[in-house]
Amino acid sequence: MPLSQTEENYLKAVYKIAESDQGSVSTNAIAKMMSTSAASVTDMIKRLSEKGYVDYVKYYGVELTTLGKTAATILIRKHRLWETFLVSQLDFSWEEVHDIAEQLEHIQSKELIERLDKYLGFPKFDPHGDPIPNTEGKFTLRNQTILADMAIGEQGQVIAVKIHDTPFLQHLNQIGIQINTPLRIVSKQDYDQSTTVLVEDSEILLSHKVASQILLKKTS
Amino acid sequence: MPLSQTEENYLKAVYKIAESDQGSVSTNAIAKMMSTSAASVTDMIKRLSEKGYVDYVKYYGVELTTLGKTAATILIRKHRLWETFLVSQLDFSWEEVHDIAEQLEHIQSKELIERLDKYLGFPKFDPHGDPIPNTEGKFTLRNQTILADMAIGEQGQVIAVKIHDTPFLQHLNQIGIQINTPLRIVSKQDYDQSTTVLVEDSEILLSHKVASQILLKKTS
DNA sequence: TAATATTTTTAGATTAGCCTAAAAATATCT
DNA sequence: AGATATTTTTAGGCTAATCTAAAAATATTA
């Protein structure tokens, strides 16, 4: 019994929430991420629990089983490979690909995804800098720092961004930030936690909200 | 209000039936093609009729409106472009691609399909020899003859096959028939309507069932 | 044309996924 | 601890798409 698209999306949501927060995942968090009601989440989680994809304790929360983790990782592998295809082969830009990949990730064919991987040259990272899990679900870990956590004077190179929606990425395009952009922390404002960075000889002010979504590899 | 995947599949089925038979399409024919019950077809056809995609007369039959025809043609365009991608870029063979393309054709992105078309070099025919409709739904018509209708002594070159399921195409692979294969009609057996053809210096017996699925361009 | 067979539609039920409103459980605050 | 607020679950209903069984319409055939 294969998973429905909806079931797959729930698993991915649980995976993503568990990735940032730790411990078990709350009904409300899932509802928020899926833009649906808490009642619907309870329904679905029960179903996924019966099928063995999650461990569920009423009023407490949800955790992925090994089975659920594998399913979620495969989905993420597919999503990131398709995003890579769209950008590297079809010349889409990084802010355009999320929604299309969201559909493509549900295509059911193991063979297809292996051939796509090969076709793309077994890429390790997608256009947003996220690691692409291999067939076994393992992916490359990198030494990365959140921009907002860096100290004045430190330098780094952008290696990934944590959110992928079009408006956010368009904003980054506008201020000249993309994957591999080198930058230096010029100053940090305490009162609103904003950060000023030097990008290509110009100083840019980043709100805390933005600065905490950008991941860097320190270069000094 | 976009069409659901199921609605799209019904429109495609009606289109394909109307293509071979002529006049209006019967409930039973649709049910057969969709492997579903006649009752389900009646339900769905009513819905598509309300939405303006088909003209429906109870107990008589169904016809696509202009709107329905456009929707079906776009779906076929997408299907055939994806099949072309799978074969020409990912090295799938012609008998492996139908089911995957059946899923890919439902991906909703006009931009994606236009870029894919360009990426593939605006192909005019898919791996089964079927014409790929352009953005407006127009496609190249060719002078083609059904193998079963050819006379003894006539020669031709395979340009397309009418069905695409794996077992049929595997059978063609086995007897050495693919797109562009040249052949000559050696003899025709009246009692079972089978045809013997010369392919690459060997005589092959084709049942009527098989011979009526192969389309040729006459070369003599 | 009347009887029979076939096709199509209707009626009524089922499942997945969603909703709102109310009830139950847990958390927080004084 | 008791009152209040928040979170989560339950209850009941809705829609899309499906099914089977029965009824209605059309086609066929003696």
Residues A86, B116: C-beta atoms closer than 8 Å = no
Spell out the domain ranges in chain A.
Answer: 5-64, 145-218
Predicted pLDDT at A11? 98
Bridge-based pairing state of the strands B61-64 and B54-57: antiparallel
Residues of chain A short of pLDDT 50, as ranges, are none
- For residue B105, what is the DSSP state? T
With an 8 Å Cβ cutoff, the interface of chain A facing chain B consists of 86, 89-92, 96, 99-100, 103-104, 106-109, 111-112, 115-116, 119
Predicted pLDDT at B73? 97
Q: Which helix (H) or strand (E) holds A17?
A: helix A5-20
Query: Looking at domain A5-64, which of 2.30.31.70, 3.30.70.260, 1.10.260.40, 1.10.10.10 is its CATH number?
Result: 1.10.10.10
Contacts of B59 (CB under 8 A, 6+ apart): none
Q: From the list A100, A107, A108, which residue is nearest B109 (CB)? A: A100
With an 8 Å Cβ cutoff, the interface of chain B facing chain A consists of 86, 89-92, 96, 99-100, 103-104, 107-109, 111-112, 115-116, 119
Residues A112, B90: C-beta atoms closer than 8 Å = yes
Say how far apart CA A16 and CA A130 lie, in whole Å: 13
Say how far apart CA B73 and CA B11 lie, in whole Å: 9
Q: How far apart are the first and last CA of chain A?
A: 52
SS3 A64: strand
Residues A100, B90: C-beta atoms closer than 8 Å = no
Say how far apart CA A86 and CA A92 lie, in whole Å: 6
Predicted pLDDT at B21? 83
Predicted pLDDT at A95? 96
User: Under a CB-based contact definition with an 8 Å cutoff, are residues B215 and B144 in contact?
Assistant: yes
The one-letter amino acid at A69: K
In chain A, which residues have their Cβ closer than 8 Å to the Cβ of B103? 106-109
> Do A5-64 and A145-218 show the same overall fold?
no
- For chain B, the residue count is 220
d(CA B119, nearest CA chain A) in Å? 7
Predicted pLDDT at A142? 93
Predicted pLDDT at A125? 97
Please give the full DSSP string across A152-201, using - where no structure is assigned: TT-EEEEEEES---HHHHHHHHHTT--TT-EEEEEEE-TTT--EEEEETT
Say how far apart CA B36 and CA B39 lie, in whole Å: 8
Q: How many helices (H) and strands (E) does chain A have?
A: 8, 8
Query: Looking at domain A145-218, which of 2.40.30.40, 3.40.50.300, 3.40.50.720, 2.30.30.90 is its CATH number?
Result: 2.30.30.90
Say how far apart CA A86 and CA A82 lie, in whole Å: 6
Q: Is the ipTM of this complex over 0.90?
A: yes
Say how far apart CA A216 and CA B73 lie, in whole Å: 47
Q: From the list A89, A103, A115, which residue is nearest B107 (CB)? A: A103
Task: Name the residue in chain A with its Cα closest to that of B101.
Answer: A107
Contacts of A80 (CB under 8 A, 6+ apart): A101, A126, A130, A131, A132, A133
Predicted pLDDT at A62? 96
Give me the average pLDDT of each 10-residue run along chain B (220 residues): 93 94 91 96 96 95 96 97 98 97 97 98 97 93 94 96 93 95 95 93 94 94
